[in-house]
Structure 1
């Protein structure tokens, strides 16, 4: 059997982490940090600040200079959101990824294409193969632990990808541009969103 041919990336992929969540009851972390993880109860929803960011992402993509330059050359063609896994052994029950791009979907009229976490490979294949997305941009809202995996799967040089997306950072955008890197590989570009109070102006170090 011949190995499966991987089609070249012809779509700009814009990666964002889901927006903020309320981590602790009343926003307070337990004083005993060893008990913090055990005390955490995830409601799988955006916090009020998370909804603020979700709505702020609409003008960010429509009017921010660096995003405008990208979307002028590669118009927005699709939106992908990590879906809620309702299976018997769920792997990812959060609604935050979908909620983060709901305002953008409503503003643009572009429906959210949904993939659960365990269907990550299918999401990558869709980005590479869907004819309607070629020559366009796709915004992806996903759990931060897997955003490096997205960049690797799309062909970015591992040396150009930060080793870890910090758990406290909700204010970054990664843009993967096909053919812009060394040897014609996709290139990862980092941008600080600078949308809400407290957002950092520092990208991640390699």
Structure 2
């Protein structure tokens, strides 16, 4: 099987030197490997972005499988897992969702092999510097921007399966104040 759609997001906001505030873990303790308060806000908003209330028009956004970067010796960040945690919890309230957080950020080929074995719609939340190379693991991969900007947390890359390979589009999240509708450029 191959998914019909693969959506890729960067994990939500992290602590940076521009006054974003500290990372905060699920218990409210300061943790540099966790999301900032704004990141937690985005994570909560993404749950309904990808799984709208009954009658919502975003059926093609509802994932059947969710992949998040795992935490391990080479990267102890919890941000990707925290970003999708509210969505996975919401999906599990009403249906089954295949959730995987066992791949580390540099295990691109193994990740994409499992992604390509999934039916339906797949969501990947990953570290931004690796995102273009994830797409590059696809057979007949479409052209995507070569770099995901350090300051962008507000975009979804959408890859739809076509007879010729994959198409590429960008979907602005527009969930929080300051989010931009301007696509990420090459």
Q: TM-score, normalised by structure 1?
A: 0.74
Q: Distance in 2 between matches of 1:118 and 1:112?
A: 18
Secondary structure of 2:64's aligned partner: strand
Question: Given the alignment of the two structures, is residue 166 of structure 1 paired with residue 149 of structure 2, yes or no?
Answer: yes
Partner of 1:107: 90
Shift of 1:118: 3.3
Q: Distance in 1 between matches of 2:157 and 2:91?
A: 21
Segment of structure 1 superposing worse, 164-173 or 109-118: 109-118
Partner of 2:7: 14
Question: Given the alignment of the two structures, is residue 203 of structure 1 paired with residue 180 of structure 2, yes or no?
Answer: no
**RMSD, aligned CA:** 2.5
Partner of 2:110: 122
More helix by share: 1
Unaligned runs of 5+ in 2: 22-30
Q: Paired residue for 1:178, among 134, 156, 161?
A: 161
Unaligned runs of 5+ in 1: 1-7, 29-41
* Contact residue 172 and residue 190 of structure 1 kept, 8 A: yes
Q: Paired residue for 2:139, among 142, 146, 155?
A: 155
Shift of 1:150: 1.3
Q: Distance in 2 between matches of 1:10 and 1:112?
A: 15
Q: TM-score, normalised by structure 2?
A: 0.82
* Contact residue 9 and residue 186 of structure 1 kept, 8 A: no
Shift of 1:59: 1.2
Secondary structure of 2:106's aligned partner: helix
Question: Given the alignment of the two structures, is residue 54 of structure 1 paired with residue 43 of structure 2, yes or no?
Answer: yes
Relative distance call for 1:177 and 1:102 in structure 2 (3 A) is same
Larger radius of gyration: 1
